[in-house]
Chain A
Amino acid sequence: MNVLHFVNAFFGDGSHWHGYDGIPARLAEHLRYSLIALALAAAIGLPVGLLTGHYGRGGNTLALIATAGRALPSFGLLVLMFILLGFGLVPVMIPLVVLAVPPILVTTYEAVRSVDPAPVDAARGMGMAESRVLFRVELPVALPLILSGLRSAAIQIVSTATIAAYVSLGGLGRYIVDGLYQRDYEKVVGGATLVAVLALATLALFWAVARWAVSPGVRRSG
């Protein structure tokens, strides 16, 4: 009766591998929620972080927003959004995005700000336009930190996207919510294991992206 036993039982059961409640389907749903949430959070956090970092302004405001964002409980927000907006994807996305924007925003801002000012000065002195200074000089050097911000946001999203199940959506949270309700612990543990594996896969993915995207000159000197 240990956890491993549950894990074996869950994954060994052939019926868990197909159908609308099968692992592939739930995994796909979970990935979909996570990717949409991450894309939305990045679409907000990256540009704002890059611009504020580049111009070195608005740091205090950012810190304030970030603290506020972190203080909001995702589950509470979900319930509130559900009451206000009813069923659907939107009430799920809002708490996930609110959760993910602060790490992306703050690390991006910090990453760009902490770029050595000398090459930036040299770049301007050579006649680079501001946008080029940002994207060709600051961004490549800030990239490792920016990716680490995206990575923690992604991992938080992947683990928190389970809340979708509370408002009758799918995803891996389904197993946990349903399992708890049905007192089917095999299902609960199986769902939790899948979430953990997905989180680890996210880590691995970001590691690979960093290896591919970050210049060796930055990787080794940093």
Chain B
Amino acid sequence: MIRIDSVTKRYPDGTVAVDRLSLEIPDRSITVLVGPSGCGKTTTLRMINRMVEPTEGAILLDGADVRQQPVNTLRRSMGYVIQNAGLFQHRTILDNIATVPRLLGWDKRRARARAAELMERVGLDSALAKRYPYQLSGGQQQRVGVARALAADPPVLLMDEPFSAVDPVVRKGLQDELLRIQGELGKTIVFVTHDIDEAIKLGTMVAVLRTGGRLAQYAPPAELLSAPADPFVEDFLGADRGIRRLSFFTSAGLELTSEPVVDVDATAEQIAAAAAAGTPYLLVTDRDGRPLGWSEPGELTAGAVDPDRLLSPGRPFEQGRDSLRAALDGAVLSPTGWAVAVDGTGKVSGVVSQAAVGEAIRAAHAEDRTDAKVAG
């Protein structure tokens, strides 16, 4: 465990970048430092691997002050990833990744074999091994940066805005990849970002810092969203905090109905039976049960369903795996106000109305409050 113990950093020009900060960073989880520009996130991160020395206080790694071991030994035991990756332009991708193993004295062949292994782990095509950094896209370079940090299998990974220089689609891919890698490797990751959505998505624990380097709140993301400590945190979380909080509620408990669902080959009787359920629209699926679209019961003629004339089914959610947020999103986006639920294979498992999603949200909130009372 990394313990930041009442640490203050005052730069020579008098700037107080971090002010009596105390944090306990749990092992094998992602701890995110988030806050506005200049609030001391980078300074805090860099004090962990002693790129910056604290003015007061101490940082403990498994109980021992980080200043007790030689600085380069300490750094080699912590992967370090920065914005724009900071790759060595004169070295091939493979040799970039092999850097720390080489520093640790591994022979070239072993270090390269390890680097090749890591390329695969972070999802880089092995054909890129012999290329130079300038021949890679920003997203690929960032993957190399992560692979390089992981190469010597350090228990700790320090990441300073690693994904902030790539476009949102690539960023989402990198975030998912990081969560996957973390699931496999279980590193202790300290992750700096100024993007609250990224913090909430990645963090097991999130530390919100305010300008002047003071801790505003340190909590798991769900708690941050449900109970911001003060107006600063609330403001920082943004306007749609309520919606985002739904990401933490499962859609498993939603009551689906499959009554208004028919397939393209449905007979007149089947259509009539579905219409009898009383919903204004019926959902039509293909022969494999995948959603095609919505239609008013009166518009459907048995044996002559034209998929092109159906209303879009919106974005289906996977019940159990997706959150209430995805279910609500599906309902809001659907032209009929009904969300489509699918199973893992993409087959329709039922539909649910906006009203029913709303009911589930209220129930989840109520349960959350009871939990909080029990816990508190």
Pairing of A with B: yes
Q: Which of A96-126 contact B (CB under 8 A)?
A: 116, 118-119, 121-126
Structural contact, A125 and B99, CB atoms closer than 8 A: no
Residue from B49, B73, B86, B148 whose CB has the most chain A CB atoms within 10 Å: B86
A-B pairs, 4 with minimum CB distance: A217-B132, A127-B75, A122-B86, A125-B80
Structural contact, A119 and B72, CB atoms closer than 8 A: no
Docked complex Cα distance between A21 and B149 (Å): 64
What are 8 of the A-B contact pairs (CB < 8 Å)? A119-B89, A124-B75, A126-B75, A126-B103, A215-B90, A218-B90, A221-B89, A221-B133
Docked complex Cα distance between A129 and B75 (Å): 11
Closest A residue to B88 by beta carbon equals A119
Question: Which B residues touch A137, using CB under 8 A?
Answer: 88
Structural contact, B88 and A127, CB atoms closer than 8 A: no
Closest B residue to A218 by beta carbon equals B90
Q: Which of B57-116 contact A (CB under 8 A)?
A: 71-76, 80, 82-92, 99-100, 103
Docked complex Cα distance between A215 and B46 (Å): 31
Question: Which B residues touch A123, using CB under 8 A?
Answer: 88, 99
The size of the chain A interface, using a CB distance under 8 A, is 23
Docked complex Cα distance between A21 and B134 (Å): 53
Docked complex Cα distance between A216 and B72 (Å): 30
List chain A positions with a Cβ less than 8 A from chain B: 116, 118-119, 121-129, 132, 137, 140-141, 214-218, 220-221
In the assembled complex, how far is the CB of residue B61 from the closest CB belonging to chain A, in whole angstroms? 14
Structural contact, B75 and A217, CB atoms closer than 8 A: no
Q: Which of B145-178 contact A (CB under 8 A)?
A: 145, 148-149, 158
Docked complex Cα distance between A102 and B233 (Å): 56
Residue from B51, B87, B88 whose CB has the most chain A CB atoms within 10 Å: B88
Structural contact, B80 and A119, CB atoms closer than 8 A: no
Question: Which B residues touch A122, using CB under 8 A?
Answer: 80, 82, 85-87, 145
Instruction: For the A-B complex with A118-B86, A125-B51, A217-B132 known, give 7 more contacts whose Cβ atoms are closer than 8 Å.
Output: A121-B51, A122-B87, A125-B49, A126-B75, A127-B74, A218-B90, A221-B89
Structural contact, A127 and B89, CB atoms closer than 8 A: no
- A129-B72 contact in complex given A217-B91, A217-B133, C-beta closer than 8 Å: yes
In the assembled complex, how far is the CB of residue B136 from the closest CB belonging to chain A, in whole angstroms? 11
Docked complex Cα distance between A214 and B132 (Å): 13
Docked complex Cα distance between A126 and B157 (Å): 11
Question: Which B residues touch A129, using CB under 8 A?
Answer: 72
Question: Which A residues touch B86, using CB under 8 A?
Answer: 116, 118-119, 121-122
Structural contact, A217 and B134, CB atoms closer than 8 A: yes
- A126-B99 contact in complex given A118-B84, A141-B90, A217-B89, C-beta closer than 8 Å: yes
Structural contact, B100 and A127, CB atoms closer than 8 A: yes
Structural contact, A125 and B75, CB atoms closer than 8 A: yes
Closest A residue to B104 by beta carbon equals A127
Question: Which B residues touch A216, using CB under 8 A?
Answer: 132
Closest A residue to B72 by beta carbon equals A127
In the assembled complex, how far is the CB of residue B151 from the closest CB belonging to chain A, in whole angstroms? 9
Closest B residue to A126 by beta carbon equals B100
Structural contact, B73 and A127, CB atoms closer than 8 A: yes
In the assembled complex, how far is the CB of residue B158 from the closest CB belonging to chain A, in whole angstroms? 8
Question: Which A residues touch B148, using CB under 8 A?
Answer: 126
In the assembled complex, how far is the CB of residue A170 from the closest CB belonging to chain B, in whole angstroms? 42
Question: Which A residues touch B46, using CB under 8 A?
Answer: 125
Structural contact, B92 and A127, CB atoms closer than 8 A: no
Question: Which A residues touch B90, using CB under 8 A?
Answer: 140-141, 214-215, 217-218
Docked complex Cα distance between A4 and B88 (Å): 51
In the assembled complex, how far is the CB of residue B161 from the closest CB belonging to chain A, in whole angstroms? 12
Structural contact, B88 and A124, CB atoms closer than 8 A: no
Question: Which B residues touch A221, using CB under 8 A?
Answer: 89, 132-134
Question: Which A residues touch B91, using CB under 8 A?
Answer: 215, 217
Closest B residue to A139 by beta carbon equals B90
Structural contact, B73 and A119, CB atoms closer than 8 A: no
Question: Which B residues touch A116, using CB under 8 A?
Answer: 86, 89
Structural contact, A218 and B89, CB atoms closer than 8 A: yes
Question: Which A residues touch B103, using CB under 8 A?
Answer: 126-128, 132
Closest B residue to A130 by beta carbon equals B72
- A220-B134 contact in complex given A121-B86, A137-B88, C-beta closer than 8 Å: yes
Docked complex Cα distance between A122 and B80 (Å): 7
Structural contact, B87 and A220, CB atoms closer than 8 A: no
Structural contact, A126 and B76, CB atoms closer than 8 A: yes
Docked complex Cα distance between A126 and B154 (Å): 11
In the assembled complex, how far is the CB of residue A128 from the closest CB belonging to chain B, in whole angstroms? 6
In the assembled complex, how far is the CB of residue B341 from the closest CB belonging to chain A, in whole angstroms? 46
Closest A residue to B149 by beta carbon equals A126
Docked complex Cα distance between A137 and B95 (Å): 12
